[in-house]
Structure 1
Amino acid sequence: MTATDRAIELTRAAAHAAADKQAADLIAFDVSDQLAITDVFLLASASNQPQMNAVKDAIEEKLLELGAKTIRREGQRESRWILMDYGDIVVHIQHAEERAFYTLERLWSDCPAIDLQLS
């Protein structure tokens, strides 16, 4: 099984919105073969809390334009990790230090990466 076209569309839109707010180290994995609950994990880093919030807001705005609403959101305010669950995709916005510590990309490195078409 692979990620749906809709999941890939949402992932790329979210990645572009995050990149517009200077999110770093954007990477997405097709986790559909490993997890039944979602198709894609999108990872992004931010250097501080205001930037994390700006990235979150930009992603929410863009995906809402595409008809996708957040099912669940965790870790806002003073958190250093924001998780946004859209069903088809799960977005992880992490402070750069948490990203280095938890290394989610290492955890999911056996899953295929998705071309985010950022260039």
Structure 2
Amino acid sequence: MPASDRATTLARAAAQAAADKIAATIVGLDVSGQLPLSDAFVIISASNERQVAAIVDEIEEQVRLAGAKVLRREGAREGRWVLLDFGDIVVHVFHEDERNFYDLERLWRDCPQLDLGVVGTEQTPAAGSAAADAR
């Protein structure tokens, strides 16, 4: 069963918030077939702790406006890996070093990617994607 429409909407809101704050990478994974508690992961990276904090704040605001509130926030004090649990989605905002080390995309490689409609500054849209078509 694919991610719910609500999860996809929230994931896109989180991704757009990250893109607005110039995130380096933004990846969405449909984990609904693997996890019973969440439908999607949004994995984001930033170049420094200040940017991680700015992205986290913007995501919380935009996802709240989309109709969900953060249920749990972990790691905000250190600013190296912040986990935001919104129930339907879980957002991971990493400092680039931690993102490369933990490599969540590799751990969850069996899960299909979600088209979030945005890309990070270090990514280029895939041919045929909505983001590529918008160019």
Q: TM-score, normalised by structure 1?
A: 0.97
State how far apart, in whole Å, the 2-side matches of 1:28 and 1:109 are: 11
Question: C-alpha offsets along residues 23-67 of structure 1, whole Å, 9 cap, x if unaligned?
Answer: 111101000000001000000001111100000000011011112
For 1:75, the equivalent position in structure 2 comes to: 75
For 2:62, the equivalent position in structure 1 comes to: 62
State how far apart, in whole Å, the 1-side matches of 2:13 and 2:67 are: 12
1:42-57 paired onto structure 2 within 5 Å: 42-57=42-57
1:92-111 paired onto structure 2 within 5 Å: 92-111=92-111
SS for the counterpart of 1:22 is: coil
Q: Note if 1:91 corresponds to 2:91.
A: yes
SS for the counterpart of 2:50 is: helix
State how far apart, in whole Å, the 2-side matches of 1:61 and 1:116 are: 18
Percent identity of equivalent pairs: 57
State how far apart, in whole Å, the 2-side matches of 1:21 and 1:77 are: 19
| Larger gyration radius, structure 1 or structure 2 | 2
Query: Between Structure 1 and Structure 2, how many residues are aligned?
Result: 119
SS for the counterpart of 1:111 is: coil
Amino acid corresponding to residue 34 of structure 1 in structure 2: Q
Moved over 6 A (4+): none
State how far apart, in whole Å, the 2-side matches of 1:111 and 1:62 are: 25
State how far apart, in whole Å, the 2-side matches of 1:76 and 1:91 are: 12
Amino acid corresponding to residue 116 of structure 1 in structure 2: L
Using the TM superposition, give the Cα deviation of residue 83 of structure 1 relative to its aligned residue in structure 2, in angstroms. 0.1
Amino acid corresponding to residue 51 of structure 1 in structure 2: Q
> 2:49–2:95: 8 Å Cα contact kept in structure 1?
yes
